[in-house]
Amino acid sequence: MLAMPIRKPLKLVAFAALSLLVVSCSTSRSPQQKSSNGVRSMPGLDVNRAHKDGAPWWDVDVSRIPDATPTLHTGPYKANPYTVLGKTYFPIQESKNYVASGTASWYGTKFHGQNTANGEVYDLYGMSAAHKTLPLPSYVKVTNLDNNRSVILRVNDRGPFYSDRIIDLSYAAAKKLGYAETGTARVKVEGIDPQQWWAQRGRPAPLMLNEPQVAQNSAPVVTASTGTVEQWTPPPQQHAAAVVPVQVKNTAPAGSGQYLQVGAFANPDAAELLRSKLSSMVSAPVFISSIVRNQQTLHRVRLGPFGTPGEAQQAQNSVRLANLGQPSVVTAE
């Protein structure tokens, strides 16, 4: 009789632990360590991200998301040595002859909207990857060796720094390769030379255009950052999607006051899905405000305007309780 009250809590604890393991996008990484010998932390870098990362609750047809387009990069590359967890990495200067096979993982919601190691904004629905030694940015072809699916990705981040993982993919890339649910996959990674890639298609490689001008008085995009370090000051950024100028739209209602920004997406389908879900649960206007920054179009999902701080706070609480995001207060553009 005395064993029964003990066994039930143990079952609950075991079930909770199993649930956490299943939700995680990949097997856990080594906990982040503090170094006494000057570990350099890059914007967007978190070696512990697998412990707290996961898949988004909203679903988008990733077959509609195009692969990254290999593009000639005209700005500086990030290929300087750096140290993480007491280990120094020496990035290679070019990626075109790089070939490696090993285990790939992915990262998702925890880092959506944060800065990558070269200062771009991570989009879990973008076609990007993190690598320890490839120059930033560069392009790779990643093939799942179990199903022969392939994607072309823009490498713009550093990692993974755990076990034998050779590359970390965005959630969308992992889903296209068919391993988002399992967390890891055996892959082959091949570096791409944009000039050769386009020559094989009988076309010259496109050059990046000058950065599109952003309308004045635009509100800054709200992003999270793990900090900045002198060595990792972001260079002028180039983005695969910005080969031609992009027309952006702003469906914001007229008026002034406080607004809440719930999310910012490179993929318009993801922004529209979140807008639709929010519209069904809040009385405030919900709209998408698109903006071009650093040759990257972001579709921002916002609520408002709110007449009083109390109304804004009430909407914030509703969104959080519905697990639809962590709204930030922003001002009208």
pLDDT 10s digits, 42-63: 444 444 444 456 676 566 788 8
Confidence of residue 29 (pLDDT cuts 50, 70, 90): very low
189 pLDDT above the threshold of 70: yes
User: Greater confidence, 154 or 231?
Assistant: 154
What distance in Å separates the CA atoms of residue 233 and residue 119, rounded to the nearest whole number?
A: 8
CB 162 within 8 A of CB 156: no
Number of folded domains in the chain?
Answer: 2
What distance in Å separates the CA atoms of residue 280 and residue 214, rounded to the nearest whole number?
A: 31
Paired strand residues for 64: none
Q: Determine, yes or no, domain membership for 317.
A: yes
Domain boundary among 173, 200, 227: 200
What distance in Å separates the CA atoms of residue 262 and residue 258, rounded to the nearest whole number?
A: 13
Q: Where are the alpha helices (H) located in the chain, listed in sequence order?
A: 3-23, 171-177, 194-199, 268-279, 309-321
Paired strand residues for 151: 142
Q: Determine, yes or no, domain membership for 315.
A: yes
Secondary structure class of 313 (helix, strand, coil): helix
* 74, burial (CB in 10 Å: exposed 0-12, middle 13-18, buried 19+): exposed
Question: Taking Cα atoms as reference points, which of 203, 224, 232 lies closest to residue 115?
Answer: 224
* 201, burial (CB in 10 Å: exposed 0-12, middle 13-18, buried 19+): exposed
* Cα three-residue angle 84-90-93, rounded to 5 degrees: 135
Q: Determine, yes or no, domain membership for 64.
A: no
Q: Determine, yes or no, domain membership for 36.
A: no
Say which CATH number the domain at 285 has.
3.30.70.1070
Can you give the pLDDT at residue 119? 85
Residues 86 and 179 in one domain: yes
Q: Determine, yes or no, domain membership for 186.
A: yes
Can you give the pLDDT at residue 294? 65
- For 30-78, give the DSSP string: PPP---TT-PPPPTT--TTGGGT----SS---GGGSPPP---B--S--B
Considering 111-115, 182-186, 261-265, 293-297, the range whose residues carry the highest mean pLDDT is 182-186
What distance in Å separates the CA atoms of residue 109 and residue 58, rounded to the nearest whole number?
A: 11
Residues 188 and 280 in one domain: no
DSSP assignment letter at 232 = G
Beta-carbon contacts of 172 under 8 Å, excluding residues fewer than 6 positions away, are 60, 62, 65, 124, 125, 126, 127, 267
Q: Determine, yes or no, domain membership for 135.
A: yes
Q: Determine, yes or no, domain membership for 302.
A: yes
Q: Determine, yes or no, domain membership for 31.
A: no
Confidence of residue 2 (pLDDT cuts 50, 70, 90): very low
Residues 100 and 171 in one domain: yes
Domain boundary among 166, 200, 234: 200
Residues 89 and 173 in one domain: yes
Range of the domain at 311: 258-330
